[in-house]
Amino acid sequence: MKPMVEIIDLHKSFGKVEVLKGINLQVKPGSVTSILGPSGSGKSTMLRCINHLEQPTGGAVKVNGDYVGYTRKGDVLSEISGKALAKQRAGIGMVFQRFDLYAHKTALENIIEGPLRVLGQSRSAATDEAMALLERVGLRNRARAYPAQLSGGQQQRVAIARALAMKPKVMLFDEPTSALDPELVGEVLAVMKEVAASGMTMLVVTHEIAFAREVSSEVVFMADGYIVEQGDPNLVLRKPSHPRTQDFLSRVL
């Protein structure tokens, strides 16, 4: 079975600061990979390289067998056009720490924007699917509400529905609960668990250790721009072998 996501010797620098120092990772179709690690370890940067929001300094990323952001001719990778990149990104959903909803659009309007503009769906089809997604995330009755009228947890659930509306092959979550009040975290995690149970391939940067243990197929621990440990959640989270992982988990558990 070929990987749904393959990260190959990925490097990323910002000026003289090397944030990713040679990441290699394969993610199986339908799996959930939780990415843990201290701040500054490169977790979010790695995630942003997967959909080319950050352009790698070296190495490459493949999704469903295709290079992201590039086309390969022989041994040479050449950048693709902006239009082609937008088409690739449509298949890679992303949910951010901050919800990034359009403030002047309702929940429903936020969700149908991509299907209308990028997928070319009719308004009636996009609306029907958006309402079904709002039902799925428990917000059908809030379709006409604007982001300012929604709680943080509700906004994040709309953001998940918006990403799912693009029918992605992969979903990326960048600390999706870190900006939420503690009492709102559970409602977002419940939606994420349902998405995982549907068979979606997911990569999740998170500090929610219980979620990582319960839902993940694999846990990846990053530190200092490297993957220092990865494997079965029960092994990595209960009996970590690397001192950095041991130290990190001793602080957060």
Check residue 25 and give its pLDDT. Answer: 98
Residue from 178, 174, 180, 224 nearest 202 by CA: 174
Give every residue of the chain whose pLDDT is below 50, as ranges. none
Contact 163, 203 (CB under 8 A): no
- 68-91: pLDDT as tens digits: 999 988 888 899 999 899 889 999
Distance CA 70, CA 91 (A): 15
Check residue 141 and give its pLDDT. Answer: 97
Contact 29, 18 (CB under 8 A): no
Contact 159, 99 (CB under 8 A): yes
Strand partners, 76: 73
Check residue 126 and give its pLDDT. Answer: 97
Sheet containing 218-223: order of strands:
92-95, 170-174, 201-205, 32-36, 218-223, 226-231
